[in-house]
């Protein structure tokens, strides 16, 4: 079990995680966080769960969330437009990578738009959503899922090849309270840089970890598919792909598959 008292007594943040809502089981921390956001939850409130029964990825894809993982969502009340959400996802991936490095000296890779990988395998997924009230963004919800203390056997077989967990990488259980404290601190620091319009530094850090940049990729988007070379990400978090005819495409959402290792 995650010991919330231990997190509260050791966390070093100003705002993020000062208020924690803990559940042994819920549908999705993002769904519950949205609900709290509609009920005036404080800025920086974090929803944490031991198990999610309907954990979500993008396009409502299932995020399998067994016991032992770190499944949490941060409620951000800073005034942001919904278009800023992709940038927040990039910031959160940098925060996750910094955390894994600081705690266990692990070297992460990132895959656009929302994956953190270790040794080419997904260890973390991020889902940033806007909570809308009427015509306005009421809050931004940043959902972070880290495969921590469980075995691959706890996930469906079709994920085993592409996925890893901290337990597998490090060879033992990790201290999840420590992981959450450091993650929220790193996230708060990265988000501060974003608010100070110093996102350039974070994007550079992200680019250094982006193993797919410069490689041949396929992008499956909502309506279309493209093949080409992954060139860069721009200031808004969009992926720039150079198609075979030389045209440069700015992709706002989609899934990337690397075709050249
Ligand atoms: C993501 O979506 O990677 C975002 C996942 C966000 C999860 C967090 S947990 C806390 C918060 N509450 C939520 O309900 N969600 C957030 P996407 O890029 O669409 O990837 C989804 C795909 O990842 C699935 O279709 C599976 O193929 C794969 N997948 C599912 N569970 C996984 C797991 N535990 N580890 C690795 N891959 C997984």
Say yes or no to pLDDT of 80 above 90: no
Please report the pLDDT score of residue 71 as a whole number.
Answer: 99
User: Looking at the domain covering 216-258, what would its CATH class be?
Assistant: mainly beta
Distance from the alpha carbon of residue 245 to the mean position of ligand 1, in angstroms: 34
Please report the pLDDT score of residue 260 as a whole number.
Answer: 65
Please report the pLDDT score of residue 135 as a whole number.
Answer: 76
Topology of domain 4-209, CATH: BirA Bifunctional Protein; domain 2 (3.30.930)
Decide: 149 in ligand 1 pocket, CB within 6 A. no
Distance from the alpha carbon of residue 235 to the mean position of ligand 1, in angstroms: 25
**Position 1 confidence tier, pLDDT thresholds 50, 70, 90:** very high
**Position 93 confidence tier, pLDDT thresholds 50, 70, 90:** very high
SS (H, E, C) the chain: CCCHHHHHHHCCCCCCCCCEEEEEEECCHHHHHHHHHHCCCCCCCEEEEEEECCCECHHHCECCECCCCEEEEEEECCCCCHHHHHHHHHHHHHHHHHHHHHHHCCCCEEECCCEEEECCEEEEEEEEEEEEECCEEEEEEEEEEECCCCCHHHCCHHHCCCECCHHHHHCCCCCHHHHHHHHHHHHHHHHHHHHCCCHHHHHHHHHHHCCCCCCEEEEECCCCEEEEEEEEECCCCCEEEEECCCCEEEECCCEEEECCC
Boundaries of CATH 3.30.930.10 in the chain? Answer: 4-209
**Position 9 confidence tier, pLDDT thresholds 50, 70, 90:** very high
**What are the tens digits of pLDDT across the range 237-253?**
999 999 989 999 999 99
**What are the tens digits of pLDDT across the range 156-166?**
999 999 999 99
Instruction: Work out the mean pLDDT of the chain and round it to a whole number.
Output: 95
The pLDDT > 70 percentage for the chain reads: 99
Please report the pLDDT score of residue 221 as a whole number.
Answer: 86
**What are the tens digits of pLDDT across the range 116-135?**
999 999 999 999 999 887 77
**Position 98 confidence tier, pLDDT thresholds 50, 70, 90:** very high
Distance from the alpha carbon of residue 201 to the mean position of ligand 1, in angstroms: 27
Of all protein residues, the one whose alpha carbon is nearest to atom 28 of ligand 1 is 63
Decide: 143 in ligand 1 pocket, CB within 6 A. yes
Decide: 145 in ligand 1 pocket, CB within 6 A. yes
Boundaries of CATH 2.30.30.100 in the chain? Answer: 216-258
Q: Quick one: average pLDDT of 91-117?
A: 97
């Amino acid at each position: 079990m995650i010991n919330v008292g231990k997190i509260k007594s050791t966390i070093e943040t100003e705002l993020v995680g000062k208020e924690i809502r803990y559940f042994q089981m819920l549908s999705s921390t993002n769904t519950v966080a949205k609900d709290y956001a509609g009920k005036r939850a404080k800025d920086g409130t974090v929803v944490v769960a031991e198990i999610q029964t309907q954990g979500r990825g993008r396009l409502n894809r299932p995020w399998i969330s067994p016991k032992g993982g770190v499944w949490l969502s941060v409620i951000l009340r800073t005034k942001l437009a919904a278009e800023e959400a992709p940038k927040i996802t990039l910031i959160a991936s940098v925060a996750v990578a910094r955390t894994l490095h600081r705690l266990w000296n692990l070297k992460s890779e990132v895959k656009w738009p929302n994956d953190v990988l270790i040794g080419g395998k997904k260890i973390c997924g991020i889902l940033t959503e806007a909570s809308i009230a009427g015509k306005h963004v009421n809050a931004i919800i940043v959902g972070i899922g880290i495969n921590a203390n469980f075995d691959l056997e706890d996930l469906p077989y079709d994920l085993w090849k592409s996925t890893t967990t901290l337990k597998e990488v490090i060879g033992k259980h990790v201290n999840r309270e420590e992981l959450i404290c450091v993650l929220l601190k790193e996230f708060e620091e990265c988000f501060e840089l974003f608010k100070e319009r110093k996102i350039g530094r974070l994007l550079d850090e992200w680019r250094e970890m982006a193993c797919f940049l410069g490689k041949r990729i396929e992008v499956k988007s909502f309506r279309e598919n493209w093949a080409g070379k992954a060139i860069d990400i721009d200031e808004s978090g969009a992926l720039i792909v150079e198609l075979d005819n030389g045209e440069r495409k700015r992709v706002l959402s989609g899934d990337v598959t690397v075709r050249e290792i």
